[in-house]
Amino acid sequence: MITPTLPAIALATAGPTIPPTSEIQKIRQVIQEKVSKKLQQISQGETDPKKAITATIIKIQNNTLIFDTPSLIKKATVDDTTIYIGLKQNKIKFSDLKTGQEILAIGFLDENQQLTIRRLILTSKKSYQNPNLIIFGQIVDISTSSPVFVIIPYSNKNSQYQIKYVANKTEFLSKIGQKIILKSIKKGQKVAVVATADPLSRQSLVSIKIITLD
């Protein structure tokens, strides 16, 4: 008995060619890696690696500042991208820093919990001695009837803060330390807020500085 030979077209259309198991595993691995990388990018975009501390400089060594601070971060580094802001909101230089000065340091923590300062702002002793809360977040609402912003912090997106601002007391600063006006603050902006407890309300905070980050 002779078995008929199928034409080449019939063989081609009989069904898709299935790669070997090893090839399927490689394809799955590549897809998983791409998905994992994408999720990591999304996660990084939705969280904020920024960190801020108030501290007193007790030692300056090369590009490293050593602090006296209640924070667990006792030292930080600076680089060519660091911006320095003086007490009068003017730009200063690294060489202007001295031991004993109180500062607000805003920067990024690396995987080793090392702080690299991106913005260093000199503060008065009064503001340092009065413990302040530093919040990084996004403005989601601006009241039209009262001097209040609503901010969702990056540290906990299920919570929100009502941030009061006070005329002639709250300082509004751009990301490079320049003074800006209230009208420059917009819904959707990313900001850093230095605030203290509101003695009149447990639901809100009173801002000392509001710094735009974008």
Predicted confidence (pLDDT) per residue in 29-50, tens digit: 666 666 555 545 434 443 455 7
Q: What average pLDDT does this structure show over 193-199?
A: 84
The pLDDT of residue 41 is 47
Q: What average pLDDT does this structure show over 11-17?
A: 48
Domains contained in the chain, number: 2
Q: What is the largest CA-CA distance in the chain?
A: 104
Predicted confidence (pLDDT) per residue in 148-191, tens digit: 999 998 878 888 889 999 888 899 998 888 889 988 999 999 99
Q: Is 8 part of any domain?
A: no
Final residue belonging to a domain, choices 129, 163, 188: 129
Q: Is 167 part of any domain?
A: yes
Query: Which residue type, as a one-letter code, is found at position 20?
Result: P
What percent of the chain has pLDDT above 90? 31
Predicted confidence (pLDDT) per residue in 52-75, tens digit: 888 889 999 999 999 887 777 888
Report the length, in residues, of the chain: 214
Residue with tokens 């802001």: 85
Full domain range(s) for residue 80: 50-129
CATH of the domain at 144: 2.40.50.140
The pLDDT of residue 88 is 83
Do 81 and 125 belong together in one domain? Answer: yes
Do 203 and 137 belong together in one domain? Answer: yes
Predicted confidence (pLDDT) per residue in 124-138, tens digit: 765 444 557 888 899
> What is the DSSP pairing of strand 115-123 with strand 75-77?
parallel
The pLDDT of residue 33 is 66
Do 137 and 76 belong together in one domain? Answer: no
The pLDDT of residue 30 is 65
